[in-house]
Structures are given as C-alpha cells and as structure tokens.
Amino acid sequence: MKHATASGPRALRREALITECALQRLSLAAEAKNLLLPLAPRNLRAQLGPRLKIPLMIAGGALGLAVTRPKRAVPLLLSAASAWKSVNTVVPLLRRLSGRLKK
C-alpha cells in the first residue's frame, strides 16, 4: 500500500512536468515562427520588391540599350559606372559632414 501512495504524487508530478514541457514546446514553436517570418520567401519578396523595382527597371533598360545599340551603350554604361563610384564615395562624406553640422 505504501508503494501506491508514493507513486500517486510521483505520477501527478510526472503528468504536470509533461504538460509543462508540452506548453514550452508550443511556446518555442510560436516564437521560432515569429522569428523566421521575416525570412519567409513571400515576406522577403514583399520587403525587397518595392526597393528593387527601380534598380531592376534601370538594369533592364540598360540591358535593352546594350543589346539594341552596343556602340552607344558601352560609353554610356562606362559613364554611369564612373558616376556611381563617385556618388558612393561622396555620400559617406556628406553624411559625416551633415552629422557634424547637426551637433
């Protein structure tokens, strides 16, 4: 009879722990889903789509120009690449300068 009473509280404790583990698993699954949601392909497309629309249009236009009129396109593309390098060099300097002026 002693054995039956000892296993009673143990069995209840075991069931409580199993239930707690199941709740923790569900909670962990929900949190993991929330953390991985921004990486989902459809969500990634929704976030990057508007940002890539203009660059893709420009790239498509440049490619079309290069295919149809290569003699005119090459100097234009070289000039655009040079301008892009210049802009990428100047923008950080302007940001630093504007940060200093705000202080």
Residues of the chain above pLDDT 90, percent: 27
| Confidence check: pLDDT of 1 > 50 | no
For the record, the structure tokens of 8 come out as 């009673």
Buried b (16+ CB within 10 A) or exposed e, 3-36: eeeeeeeeeeeeeeeeeeeeeeeeeeeeeeeeee
Q: How far is CA 27 from CA 11, 15, 49, 80, in A?
A: 24, 18, 32, 52
| Confidence check: pLDDT of 76 > 50 | yes
Q: Phi/psi of residue 56, each to 5°?
A: -70, -35
The predicted-structure confidence for 2-35, as pLDDT tens digits, reads as follows 445 557 899 999 999 999 999 999 999 999 888 8
| Confidence check: pLDDT of 90 > 80 | yes
| Confidence check: pLDDT of 44 > 50 | yes
